[in-house]
Chains A and B, each alone.
Chain A
């Protein structure tokens, strides 16, 4: 592939120096960010197009739309509470939702491994159809490729979504101010820990289901009640809430202070994390979102979320402070505190 002449005249700086791609580059944490910012952004955009969100805005004939894409390579294909097909629809619907957009249409690409049993494929396609129906989004087009046996793990799914902007809300990390409240829609870590246990490598069993769902109804409820006060939203998938909030802290240059005792985490997830030495803040979620809301709208926001179906566990989990700038800090009831960094490495490979 040769670069266009204009680019040659204006060489871009590629800061990505890792000699090869490792699993960590796909884990959503620090390594992923380095790959995106050090290689993809300079070569594809020239310069960073502002903070990188979950979806991009494109203007067509004077109408703003949001667009995003996501690939799903989860193993195992199905797990308590969901499966790859459902995840592929909800994941993209959610990326659009937290960007302040309602998904209108999806394009689906399947990469199938020769030998994939038809009933498995059929079940996943049915799951996609149902999830799309539930989320009110149309699957508008698709493509299929088949690779040799052994060259993929049964099936991979990519969905690309286009969405209509919701009225009355603007998502911009640079609009976040000191004193803003950090909201979380529900308990952390259900998805990541469910997948970890579903692999059966740990001989641990727990009554736990993935939280995969469309967060659009909750986002809509939040925007209706507190739209002008909503400054930022993100669904904390790979890399967990810690990574999402670290990116926000970096983008707005402020400190994200979380109150550990306010962060909802189920006992089973806490227990698994204690046993395995993981931090729930680093575990992936597929049906939750974080929001930063100005203080005067915080009560209205929590009320609206709590009353909406599936929002009863929404909580204010922290607030934005001037210090520690660019950092996420967790404080405990007994006066201790610790910095929570982005995920380093890859604790749970292929969870979505």
Chain B
């Protein structure tokens, strides 16, 4: 399969792994992959088995489902509890628990909940159900925000009245800044997000290199992409350099996608602050719908309770998110908190580090010895 197989070739992968081992030497390196897609790929492809032990990967905050506070889910569901409202969201959202259960559990109790694969499918639902109101529960970083914006622009152009967006879009740069500002954080380098960068480009990361003196390489999602990015980071670190590099050139333009950025600017404005699950309030880190699009903004159209729910004290999502703890070191991991019954945010989405660890890695630790016979 094109664009897949060539990035999973065993010979190239072992060569990259060999190069990493050579460059890493004996020093211990801590690298954060910002994006949840990378976290998932690292576990899915078993890259930890290939990397030397002194390359430590820290899973970052780039999983939009994981960082969404529970109160926002309650708020969205409370809108959908009003008569004749259809709750539409991506599949990732469906099992995310609110205080009264997940959207799927609400569906089982009779709420009209639909899975859509893009915001424009939600708009299509609105056209097909003129006597209902379709509320799209929007989540995601700059990756998905442009398609939400374009859908709202189309709703406005077509004068579709029975459609609104409950906007939870967040932006990646303030989250990285919050991680770097955190006192217990010690990182050598960043594997930069791939999909977000298709929209924002590589320039917004320059401060990380210049001010924080940390190398960052924007990376693709195939095994070879990630390994090559680690090679590029190690080369920078060994040369004492700190710059932004783009490994994912086949998809990410240096300047980003201007049309997408224009659509975002047309529809959204920055919120003064927004709560991130596990990280707390971060200023200017999220988007709201601007007044030009107020008619299509669920927060302005409906009464929103503005619920704040604190996570269970025992859940140590924040520490895991910042890489201070490994997923399995959390007190709840695998006991109260499992993919079927997630307590903390990171167990919810397959991109969350706890869920990825639980699905792919957990139980492997105990059998490392027996694995050597497989490789």
Contact = CB atoms under 8 A, between A and B. Distances in A.
A332 B104 CA distance: 34
A339 interface: yes
Contacts of A21: 108
Contacts of A344: 339-340, 359
A3 interface: no
Contacts of A325: 367
B47 A339 contact: no
Contacts, number: 99
A338 B45 contact: yes
Contacts of A345: 94-95, 104, 339-340
Nearest to B4: A274
Interface in B162-190: none
B45 A336 contact: yes
A88 to B, nearest CB: 26
A238 to B, nearest CB: 16
Nearest to B44: A338
Interface string A306-348: 0000000000000001111101010111111111110011010
Contact of B49 (A271, A277, A336): A336
A342 to B, nearest CB: 10
A31 interface: yes
B360 interface: yes
Contacts of A148: none
B1 interface: yes
Interface residues on A, range: 35 or more
Nearest to A333: B10
B340 A30 contact: yes
The SS class assigned to the A binding surface is: loop
Contacts of B375: 331, 335
A20 interface: yes
A198 to B, nearest CB: 15
Nearest to B365: A324
B1 A338 contact: no
Interface string A2-38: 0000000000000000001111100000110000000
Interface in A26-74: 30-31
B43 A338 contact: yes
B282 interface: no
B364 A337 contact: yes
A330 B107 CA distance: 34
Given A20-B109, A267-B1, A324 B364 contact: yes
B360 A339 contact: yes
A332 B10 CA distance: 9
Contacts of A23: 104, 107-108
A6 B361 CA distance: 46
B158 to A, nearest CB: 19
B359 A339 contact: yes
A201 B359 contact: no
Contacts of B107: 23
Contact of B14 (A201, A334, A340): A334
A34 to B, nearest CB: 8
Nearest to B338: A344
B121 interface: yes
Contact of B117 (A22, A202, A332, A340): A202
Contacts of A267: 1
17 contacts: A20-B108, A20-B109, A22-B104, A23-B104, A31-B340, A201-B121, A277-B350, A323-B367, A323-B370, A324-B363, A324-B364, A329-B374, A334-B17, A335-B49, A336-B45, A339-B362, A344-B340
Interface of A: 20-24, 30-31, 201-202, 255, 257, 267, 270-271, 274, 277, 321-325, 327, 329, 331-341, 344-345, 347
Given A257-B374, A270-B1, 4 more contacts: A267-B1, A324-B364, A336-B47, A337-B364
Q: Which 9 A-B pairs have the closest CB atoms?
A: A336-B46, A323-B370, A334-B13, A333-B10, A334-B10, A338-B360, A335-B375, A337-B46, A323-B367
